[in-house]
A = this chain, B = another copy of it.
Amino acid sequence: MRDFILIAGPCAVESLDEIVGIGKSVRGSGATHLRYMLYKPRTRSDAFQGVGDVGLEWAEEVKERTGLALVTEVLDPRDVEKVSNYADVIQIGSRNASNAALIREVGNVSSEKNMKVILKRGMYHTLSEWEGSFGYLGMEKSNVWMCERGIRTSTSLDHSRNVLDIGAICVLKDKGYTVIVDPSHGTGKRELVERVAIAALSGGIDGLEVEVHFDPIHAFSDPDQAIIPSEFDHLVRNIEKIREIYLS
């Protein structure tokens, strides 16, 4: 899709074969970037923490075989320089959305290497706080993809993990930010992903980041929110159709 960032892939890289397989599939549907998550921030330390550095060794091969640019989340400022040698876009996740040390380091390395950065909104962030974190990057608005990923509220907990804040998207776009949306975390329920993703188009977003897995219920993390490749393809077709109207 012209002028649209389309990041797709599993919550976490689980094996080389699996990530190449998903990469090829989502590339076929029109993805521009692969979610290539090696270090997983989890609530509990005894949960799966990602494959870690071994994934960096696979990076070259994955890029070659899938033809996609790689998005990798970093958790530790000591990893930023290293990861920047393999990944194309560095992501700062929701749990680290107020982690000034990490954000500064990512800003420095990415500025130097002219890389894009994804700055996810904290699940509890006001817009001012999110913009405050953007300020720690020291980067241009065009180089930072502000990613709305839903906020947690007591009112929504019985039907969705988070509530996507369409109003926040609109306000950020009006202020000149580059804005993408993660409808997977933004809902936490795969049956809502497509409808919420398409709703977000109305805010004039610049892209989407979507969890796609061959077998979501057996995924190592976030089993409830990943969609399967055929659903991703359906989603992309509908986005194309609706964007055409908006852009016409």
Measured between alpha carbons, how far is A153 from B150 in the docked complex, in Å?
Answer: 12
A interface residue count range (under 10 / 10 to 19 / 20 to 34 / 35 or more): 35 or more
Measured between alpha carbons, how far is A38 from B60 in the docked complex, in Å?
Answer: 42
Listed by A's residue number, 14 A-B pairs whose Cβ atoms lie within 8 Å are A43-B128, A45-B136, A75-B99, A95-B98, A123-B124, A126-B154, A156-B165, A159-B168, A159-B171, A166-B192, A170-B192, A195-B203, A195-B204, A199-B199
Contact: A167 with B157, CB < 8 Å? no
Residue of B nearest to A44 (CB): B132
A101 within 8 A of B: yes
Q: So how many copies of this chain end up in the complex?
A: 4
A100 within 8 A of B: yes
- Given known contacts A95-B98, A170-B191, A202-B202, what 11 new A-B pairs fall within 8 Å (CB)? A44-B132, A75-B99, A77-B78, A125-B155, A157-B157, A159-B167, A163-B163, A166-B166, A195-B202, A198-B202, A241-B245
